[in-house]
Structure 1
Amino acid sequence: MNAHHEAEEGARVIPLATARERDGGGAGGGRDARHPARRDGEHADAPGRAASVLEPGSLERRVASGLEFLGRRLTGDYEVDEFGFDPEFNGTVLLPAARALYERWFRVELAGVENVPADGGALIVANHSGTLPLDGLMLAVALHDHAERDVRLLGADLIYQVPVLGHLSRKAGHTLACQADAARLLGKGELVGVFPEGYKGVGKPFADRYKLQRFGRGGFVGTALRAGVPIVPCAIVGAEEIYPKIADLRPLARLLGLPYFPVTPTFPLLGPAGLVPLPSKWMIAFGEPMYLDDYEADDADDPMTVFEITDHVRENVQRMLHETRLRRGPAFF
């Protein structure tokens, strides 16, 4: 295990493949294997999905389940993988909190979820926006609940320098945006998510909404080529409106060591209340997988090839953004 992937003290460390097989799936954790069939409108009994309080005895079951969860936490009787991913904590604590925003506040709709591979390694490439990166949380809920896969997002160093945020990100299965970590996850058949725009995307002004920024140097393309996995373009519409950034206090940002310090219609004017996101209507669309079978792994070292593929991916995501935005309609209705 690498030094920066320290597991929870007292918790058992399990290989990534074993973590997926825990849910009854194979090495890739396919849809049918990991989640039993369910009727429309009914959620499978998965970690973090509590039974309805209207069901007889459901309250007692929830209390008993909660006590069992706390007991395992106290005794260290739970499992994490080499990256610190804690499936039980993620399913019981983190995903339900994000799911409340997903279902009730942002009312997220999905399109093209069938384009997400049911198993095996794949790279989800999405646009990034919103001033605060809530788009990553909504993407994780969408893929967990509707594609039956845990996405392992690649995050900036700043996230892992914030003690609580970095710790929770690890427990949710995410890691640093570096090729070594991405290659290791893809080699294990994991679904990896990346936002190539980085800070330029999430921190762009409201006037530039839904206009993709530069996709870095195409490192994600080199990673996909070396791993031999498809790229799935993804368009996230709705995040641009949650914190409309109208100005940037750059001197304050430099003082705090932040990439930007946003000014929105509600923040910092309303103080902490200004951090409540506006309830925009979201849509997340997944495009057809882009298979790289016509290329060799050595092409990852050819700058022109990497640039060509990167530009093609960016064009696909930009086109999908335009189409999905038209399909979504007004931002708040």
Structure 2
Amino acid sequence: MIDEHDDVWDRRVAGGLAFLRRRLSGGYEVDEFGFDEELTKALFHPGLRKLQRDWFRTEIIGSKNLPEVGGGLVVGNHSGTVALDALMLAMACHDESVGHRHLRLLGADFVFKMPFLSELARKSGGTLACNPDAERLLTSGELVGVFPEGFKGVGKHYRDRYKLQRFGRGGFVSAALRTGVPIIPAAIVGAEEIYPLIGDIKPLARVLGAPYFPVTPTFPWLGPLGMIPLPSKWLIEFGEPIHTEEWADHADDPMVVFNLADQVRETIQSMLHALLEKRPDPFGA
């Protein structure tokens, strides 16, 4: 009689060997942006899923607001010193959406200037945060993720936690208007506490070509151990979609773009306040 545990193990080994054969022979697909879906699901997702569910104990709210098919622009707040919030948002979209949709993240120039980091970003579905790339993805029916605060959000001081920074020039709104896709506001609570930023060594940041060099209660004092994120409790909420069809002819109107960007920003800020009330203890169960 075949042991069920042995049968499962045999299937895993066979699947792993088949995966290696495909990787070595080049028998896998990569899209025009460099996205490798097979590698992402096999290599990146398991660890990120474990981090999200077990370490951050993440609760996902409003996943029904993600479009089942077609393009959509997910706009989130950005924080946490290291941009784990982007990865956790992508995992929430994949695991909780109908059809397990991949969130194609838009990243800053800095990300794609780093050799190893650039390759990882491309393989996992990321691309440069510019309107041409965003519009091509949206037009082809992809779910795209953007963080309009950029480094101003992810690198802000801990005392400014959950206070949204300026949203730039609203390029994300123009992309949504030109492609006619809905904008889905997303609020992320929990990332602010994983690496509380208490200082920035600017001279060292300039030497490294980085936007900042963080000082937290654990880094750089504890060395590599200081890079372990604190186990804060996370809440991620997807808000009601903001439909853009009625403004389709106003993608180049600065006033329309500014007003809509401001509406998205105020919506996310209100969502953050509501989530913080649901989570009075940052490190509670």
1:143 partner amino acid? C
- Is 2:218 the partner of 1:266? yes
- Whole-Å separation in 1 of the counterparts to 2:87 and 2:9: 28
Q: C-alpha displacement at 1:56, in angstroms? A: 5.2
- Whole-Å separation in 2 of the counterparts to 1:241 and 1:291: 33
- Is 2:251 the partner of 1:306? no
Work out which of the residue numbers 269, 277, 281 in structure 2 matches 1:318.
269
The equivalent of 1:136 in structure 2 is 86
2:197 partner amino acid? K
- Unmatched 5+ residue regions in structure 1? 1-52
Task: Indicate the percent of aligned positions where both proteins have the same amino acid.
Answer: 60
Corresponding residue SS for 1:193? strand
Q: List structure 1 segments (4+ residues) > 6 angstroms apart after TM superposition.
A: none
Corresponding residue SS for 1:85? coil
Change (3 A) 1:68 1:317: same
Q: C-alpha displacement at 1:255, in angstroms? A: 1.4
Q: C-alpha displacement at 1:292, in angstroms? A: 1.5
Work out which of the residue numbers 217, 221, 232 in structure 1 matches 2:184.
232
- Unmatched 5+ residue regions in structure 2? none
Q: Per-residue CA shift, 1:91-126, capped at 9, x if unaligned?
A: 000111211111111111011110111111010000
Corresponding residue SS for 2:247? coil
Corresponding residue SS for 2:145? strand
1:138 partner amino acid? M
Work out which of the residue numbers 194, 208, 214 in structure 2 matches 1:256.
208
Change (3 A) 1:205 1:86: same
The equivalent of 1:181 in structure 2 is 133
- Is 2:17 the partner of 1:67? yes
Change (3 A) 1:54 1:246: farther
1:173 partner amino acid? G
Q: Per-residue CA shift, 1:76-105, capped at 9, x if unaligned?
A: 011111111111100000111211111111
- Whole-Å separation in 1 of the counterparts to 2:115 and 2:21: 25
Work out which of the residue numbers 230, 236, 259 in structure 2 matches 1:284.
236
- Whole-Å separation in 2 of the counterparts to 1:305 and 1:199: 25
Q: Which of 56-65 and 86-95 deviates more?
A: 56-65
RMSD across aligned C-alpha pairs, in angstroms?
A: 1.2
Q: Which of 56-65 and 76-85 deviates more?
A: 56-65
Larger helix proportion of the pair: 2
Q: How many residues align?
A: 280
- Whole-Å separation in 2 of the counterparts to 1:70 and 1:119: 31
Higher RCO (CA < 8 A, seq sep 6+):
2
- Whole-Å separation in 2 of the counterparts to 1:75 and 1:277: 37
Change (3 A) 1:207 1:106: same
Q: Per-residue CA shift, 1:23-59, capped at 9, x if unaligned?
A: xxxxxxxxxxxxxxxxxxxxxxxxxxxxxx9855111
Q: C-alpha displacement at 1:296, in angstroms? A: 2.6
- Is 2:162 the partner of 1:196? no
- Is 2:268 the partner of 1:331? no
